[in-house]
Chain A
Amino acid sequence: MKPILGVLAAAAVFAGLAVAPFYLGTYGIGLMIGMIGYVTLASAWALFSGPTRFVSLATVAFFGIGAYTVSVFYESFPPLMVLGLAALIGLAVALVVGLATLRLAGVYFVIFTFGLAELIRQLVTWYEVNITGTLGRYLFVSYGPEVVYWKLLVLCAVTLGIGYLIQRSRLGLALKMIGDDEVVAEHCGLPTARVKLALFALSSVIITLVGAIQAPRWTYIEPTIVFNPTISFLTLIMALLGGANRLWGPAVGAVPLFLLFEWLSANFPDHYSIILGLLFMAIVFVLPRGVLDFLEGLIARMRKQRAGEASGAGAGRGAGRLAEGEAK
Chain B
Amino acid sequence: MTLITALIAGLVLGGTYALAAMGLTLQYGIARIMNLAYGDMIITAAFAAFVLQGAASINPIFGLLIAVPGGFLLGYAVYTVILAPLVARAPNRGVLEVDSILTTFGLLFVVQGILLVIFGSNYTSYTFLNEPVNVLGATIAANRLIALVLALGLGITLYLLLTRTRWGTALRAVAVSPQSAQLVGIDINRAAAFAFALGGGLAASAGVVISMYQTFTATGGVVFTMKALIVVIMGGVGNLVGALAAGLILGVVETLVATYADPGLTLAATYAIFLVVLLWRPQGLFGRAVR
Cβ contact within 8 Å between A55 and B109: no
Kindly state whether residue A10 has any CB partner on chain B within 8 Å.
Answer: no
B contact face: mostly helix, strand, loop, or mixed: helix
Q: Which of B131-139, B244-252, B275-283 contacts A (4 or more CB under 8 A)?
A: B275-283
**Chain B contacts for A274, CB-based, 8 A:** 109-110, 113-114, 117
Measured CB to CB, the nearest residue on chain A to B264 is: A126
Cβ contact within 8 Å between B267 and A281: no
A110 to chain B, nearest CB (A): 6
Cβ contact within 8 Å between A284 and B102: yes
Cβ contact within 8 Å between A280 and B106: yes
Cβ contact within 8 Å between B105 and A280: yes
Kindly state whether residue A272 has any CB partner on chain B within 8 Å.
Answer: yes
Cβ contact within 8 Å between A104 and B278: yes
Kindly state whether residue B142 has any CB partner on chain A within 8 Å.
Answer: no
**Chain B contacts for A115, CB-based, 8 A:** 226, 230, 271, 274
A contact face: mostly helix, strand, loop, or mixed: helix
Kindly state whether residue B150 has any CB partner on chain A within 8 Å.
Answer: no
**Chain A contacts for B166, CB-based, 8 A:** none
Please report the C-alpha to C-alpha distance between residue A277 and residue B117 in the assembled complex, in whole angstroms.
14
**Chain A contacts for B77, CB-based, 8 A:** none
Please report the C-alpha to C-alpha distance between residue A270 and residue B121 in the assembled complex, in whole angstroms.
11
Cβ contact within 8 Å between A55 and B106: no
Cβ contact within 8 Å between A271 and B117: yes
Partner of B233, one of A100, A101, A111: A111
Cβ contact within 8 Å between B275 and A100: yes
Cβ contact within 8 Å between A125 and B98: no
A269 to chain B, nearest CB (A): 10
Most buried by B among A100, A107, A275, A278: A107
**Chain A contacts for B291, CB-based, 8 A:** 105
Please report the C-alpha to C-alpha distance between residue A64 and residue B205 in the assembled complex, in whole angstroms.
36
Partner of A107, one of B34, B108, B271: B34
**Chain B contacts for A53, CB-based, 8 A:** 94, 98
Kindly state whether residue B103 has any CB partner on chain A within 8 Å.
Answer: yes
Chain B: interface residue count, which band? 35 or more
Kindly state whether residue A8 has any CB partner on chain B within 8 Å.
Answer: no
1/0 per residue, CB under 8 A from B, across A102-123: the answer is 0011111011101110110011
Partner of A279, one of B82, B106, B111: B106
**Chain A contacts for B222, CB-based, 8 A:** 229
A9 to chain B, nearest CB (A): 32
Cβ contact within 8 Å between B265 and A273: no
Cβ contact within 8 Å between A122 and B268: yes
A60 to chain B, nearest CB (A): 13
Measured CB to CB, the nearest residue on chain B to A111 is: B229
Partner of A114, one of B94, B109, B116, B226: B226
Q: A53-B98, A280-B102 are in contact. Are A118 and B267 (CB under 8 A)?
A: yes
A241 to chain B, nearest CB (A): 11
Partner of B113, one of A104, A277, A282: A277
Partner of B101, one of A107, A275, A288: A107
A-B contact pairs, 29 of them (CB 8 A): A55-B98, A107-B101, A108-B278, A110-B101, A111-B226, A112-B274, A115-B230, A115-B271, A115-B274, A119-B268, A122-B265, A126-B264, A233-B109, A236-B102, A240-B102, A273-B116, A274-B114, A276-B113, A277-B108, A277-B110, A277-B113, A278-B106, A278-B110, A280-B106, A281-B106, A282-B106, A284-B103, A285-B86, A285-B103
Residues of A in contact with B (beta carbons under 8 Å apart): 53, 55, 100-101, 104-108, 110-112, 114-116, 118-119, 122-123, 125-126, 129-130, 229, 233, 236, 240, 270-282, 284-285, 288
Closest 4 CB pairs of A and B: A277-B109, A280-B106, A274-B113, A277-B110
Given A55-B102, A273-B109, 13 more A-B residue pairs with CB atoms under 8 Å apart are: A53-B94, A106-B97, A106-B98, A108-B278, A114-B226, A122-B271, A125-B264, A270-B116, A277-B106, A277-B112, A277-B113, A281-B106, A285-B85
Residues of B in contact with A (beta carbons under 8 Å apart): 34, 36, 82, 85-86, 94, 97-99, 101-103, 105-114, 116-117, 222, 226, 229-230, 233, 262, 264-265, 267-268, 271, 274-275, 278-279, 282, 291
